[in-house]
Copies of this chain bind each other. A is one copy, B any other.
Amino acid sequence: MMQDDDAGAPGEALWSRIARRLEADMRAGLYPPGERMPAEALLAERFRINRHTLRRAMASLAERGLVRIEQGRGTFVQEEVIDYAIGNRTRFSQNVASANRLPGHRILRTEEIPADRAVARRLNLRVGAPVILIEVISEADGRPLGYGRHYLPAKRFRGVEAHYRELRSLTQALKRMGVEDYRRFSTRITAQVPTREIAALLKQPVTRPVLQTENVDVDADGRAIEYGITRFASDRVQLLVEPFRDAESGDVIGG
């Protein structure tokens, strides 16, 4: 049933008009991505409509993936998610750039530490062997996408962190140290509830999950050169396992 005081186009339901209005306001920047929208009751009062009507409008936005409604917490403007491709030749900045975002990263710290059991096993080292730890926040348009901890064997790569800071690319830094090529050996993906600390680093609420990837990269000889754990903000990143293409021909492999 139409609202009596509907001043919009005839034939369009009031909830639909409200939905378009909310969508326009979102695009205009009134409700920035990731932010909580005003409470349903408040918006209903502001538009002078019943809360049911507003909820119908919100439901249509939620269905289209523009907002995310969370009971007891509020309604949040959905952020644009970046496809993060995972493959044999995953490179960091390419993923972000191909989404028309400005890639960047902040290095939190670099340190030489003894390998614990987990790191030693993945890098084929003895427990206690020196490894270089690089902690990075990767960003797109200044918003945190992921928080990564990368371990490299110090014996072989001592000083890599200086190159990395200078060149701002691990691929380039490794190349300067003689690693002409490397590839992703394995990737393990889990979903987790973030610790308060990690949620803060990713600037996301602890109530939203993180996608955790664990990877081992190897050089052309198959030697492990890097072990990394990255936590992605699941509202801003989705992982994409694509059909792998030949480096030269571009043909799909493994069909």
Closest to A245 in B: B254
Q: From residue A197, how far is it (CB to closest CB) to chain B in Å? A: 13
A247 within 8 A of B: yes
A238 within 8 A of B: yes
Write the A156-188 contact mask toward B (1 if CB under 8 angstroms, else 0): 000000000000000000000000000111111
One complex includes copies of this chain to the number of 2
Given known pairs A254-B88, A254-B253, the reply for A241 and B183 (CB within 8 Å) is no
A4 within 8 A of B: no
| C-alpha spacing A7/B136, complex, angstroms | 48
Write the A241-255 contact mask toward B (1 if CB under 8 angstroms, else 0): 111101100000111
- Kindly list chain B residues whose C-beta atoms are within 8 Å of the C-beta of A87: 254
* Number of interface residues, chain A, beta carbon within 8 A: 37
Q: Is the CB of B238 within 8 A of A211?
A: no
- Kindly list chain B residues whose C-beta atoms are within 8 Å of the C-beta of A99: none
Interface pairs (20), CB distance under 8 Å:
A83-B188, A86-B241, A87-B254, A88-B243, A88-B244, A88-B253, A89-B254, A186-B241, A186-B243, A189-B189, A189-B238, A190-B211, A190-B234, A190-B239, A191-B211, A192-B209, A244-B244, A244-B253, A244-B254, A253-B253
